[in-house]
């Protein structure tokens, strides 16, 4: 696992975008694994600029998102499908039919998880997976204690994650406690992994990821086993590293 420490969130986004640019120039029909949350938004803005300048194209890209809330329709403003359309897909030349987010409205969520895994495999696997990290070390919605071999499945969110994400929901608005998430085993099969972390609130999780033991107590520590994983973090997120 490689760790790149940069000054601030803007540098993290620019560095991460450069990796995605290189990937798309090398393989225009790349299969991208994408994430939501606050952290990747600046990177998506960089990719939008690069696309609008004609430096990169998403025309041949396929994408798979990490996770989705179970119980939200794709047009719900807090759904991750809505987020991806709003923050990236609506602004680049991607074919939306080639973008996949786990179906939060699936009638049979367990079957939908298997279909999702199969779709990733049919696409040839993920070439590059973007990740954020939760304060408790989660990746996707793989909360602490998730099996390191887990596959796409329905997962209950911890109170910590529900509380962290409450900021996106209006007071009194229904906030799901269940999700569909790619598993840690699924994530580890991506050819390349790029994890972004910024801010002091992520410092403990980054320390556990980089310097802690490989453990389900910190799901991101599984990346220690990946042969091409890079953590791009700012000085604040690196502040607990020894
Ligand atoms: C989002 C996701 C989550 C977030 C994590 C950090 O698709 O999978 O694991 O990456 O919760 O979120 P932010 O970036 O909002 O701190």
Verdict on whether the full-model pTM lies above 0.90: yes
Contacts 24+ apart (CB under 8 A), 41-45: 41/87, 42/9, 42/10, 42/12, 42/13, 43/12, 43/13, 43/16, 43/17, 43/130, 43/196, 44/87, 44/88, 45/13
pLDDT digits (tens, 9 = 90+) for 75-94: 999 999 999 999 999 999 99
Q: Is 91 a catalytic residue?
A: no
Q: How confident is the model at residue 175 (pLDDT cuts 50, 70, 90)?
A: very high
Domains and their CATH numbers in the chain? 2-234 (3.40.50.1360)
Ligand 1 atom nearest the C-alpha of 181 is: 8
Ligand 1 atom nearest the C-alpha of 39 is: 14
Mean pLDDT confidence for 215-232: 98
**pLDDT of amino acid 71:** 94
Query: What interface predicted TM-score (ipTM) does this complex get?
Result: 0.99
Distance CA 18, CA 46 (A): 9
pLDDT digits (tens, 9 = 90+) for 116-164: 999 999 999 999 999 999 999 999 999 999 999 999 999 999 999 899 9
Closest residue by Cα to atom 12, ligand 1, is 37
């Amino acid at each position: 696992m490689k760790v790149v420490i940069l000054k601030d969130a803007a540098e993290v986004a620019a560095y991460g975008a450069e990796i995605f640019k290189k990937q798309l120039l090398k393989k225009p029909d790349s299969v991208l694994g994408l994430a939501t949350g606050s952290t990747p938004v600046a990177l998506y803005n960089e990719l939008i600029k690069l696309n609008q300048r004609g430096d990169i194209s998403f025309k041949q890209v396929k994408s798979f998102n990490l996770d989705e809330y179970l119980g939200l329709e794709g047009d719900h403003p807090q759904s991750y499908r809505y987020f991806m359309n709003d923050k990236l897909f609506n602004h680049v030349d991607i074919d939306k039919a080639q973008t996949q987010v786990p179906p939060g409205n699936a009638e049979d969520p367990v079957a939908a998880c298997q279909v999702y895994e199969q779709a990733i495999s049919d696409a040839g696997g993920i070439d590059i997976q973007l990740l954020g990290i939760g304060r408790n070390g989660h990746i996707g919605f793989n909360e602490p204690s998730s099996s390191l071999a887990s596959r796409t499945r329905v997962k209950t969110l911890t109170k910590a994650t529900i509380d962290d994400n409450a900021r996106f929901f209006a007071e009194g608005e229904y906030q799901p406690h269940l999700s569909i998430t790619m598993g840690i085993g699924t994530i580890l099969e991506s050819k390349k992994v790029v994890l972004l972390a910024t801010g002091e609130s992520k410092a403990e999780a980054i320390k556990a990821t980089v310097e802690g033991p490989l453990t389900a107590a910190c799901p991101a520590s599984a990346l220690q086993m990946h042969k091409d994983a890079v953590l791009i973090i700012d000085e604040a997120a690196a502040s607990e590293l020894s």
